[in-house]
Amino acid sequence: MKNPIYLMSSTMGAVMGLAGIEHGIGEILQGNVAPAGIMIQSWPNSAFFRSLSGEPALTVIPNLLAAGILTVIVSLVFLAWSLGFVQRKNGGLMMIFLSILMLLVGGGLFPPVLGLVVGIVTARANKTLEKKTARISNAQRFFGKIFSGIYAVNLIAWPALLFAPGALNYFLGIDSTAITLSLMVIAFGSLALGFIAGFARYRLRRDGAGQPA
């Protein structure tokens, strides 16, 4: 995928799709029972997810087994769409729709909300990528040249944020708010910078304003 914006969208969509599947598996394992309310825990009895409060989610499905199955299906569709179709004209809009659906069936809170944000950025990108804008600034040149490095940070930071707190608590007994907050700052910061740098990189290529390193 040559377009750096779509590369960011596809990668983040894939990560959030996998996170949604993980939520669904936890709900399936709870069996054919009714939730106590709209707010649930995907892994209420898991020591691994204890530091994440059992991975909160919400569902409008009145059965956890059904909610989990639907969550896995919707998350798989979201994952497949992110990897193969996000660059299409309505790719971002479809991500938005699937994110909302994932949220309602039980895909957690964090994965679908972030998927929604990525979908909005992607939909916006579909409308603006071909528009000619003002001359590229030095800041845009700089960010365009370091896109690959920022993208690499995203590849590390987001899986780390999703799974490292649980792993540290489960295997080493470390339950550190400071570590979790640090990972959040790095992950969200690299996500925002990744899209900024992606737009800049695209303009450098499109307008022939210099080849990024």
The arithmetic mean of pLDDT across residues 42-53, rounded, is: 92
pLDDT tens-digit map of 69-119 = 999 999 999 999 999 999 988 999 999 999 999 999 999 999 999 999 999
Vertex 87 angle, CA 158 and 11, to 5°:
15
- Judging by beta carbons within 10 Å of its beta carbon (0-12, 13-18, 19+), is residue 196 exposed, middle or buried? middle
User: In b/e form, how buried is each residue of 100-110, taking b as 16+ CB within 10 angstroms?
Assistant: bbbbbbbbbeb
- The residue extents of the domains of the chain are 1-131, 136-213
Query: How would you write 144-163 as a 3-class SS string?
Result: HHCHHHHHHHHHHHHHHHHH
pLDDT tens-digit map of 161-176 = 999 999 999 999 998 9
Contacting residues for 87 by C-beta, under 8 A, at least 6 apart: 1, 3, 6, 10
* Contact status, residue 119 vs residue 95, Cβ threshold 8 Å: yes
C-alpha to C-alpha distance for 186 and 133, rounded to whole angstroms: 30
C-alpha to C-alpha distance for 180 and 75, rounded to whole angstroms: 25
Query: Global pTM?
Result: 0.89
pLDDT tens-digit map of 1-33 = 578 999 999 999 999 999 999 999 999 999 999
C-alpha to C-alpha distance for 58 and 131, rounded to whole angstroms: 39
Residue entry with tokens 């691994």: 48
**Strands annotated E in 6-165:** 39-41, 56-58
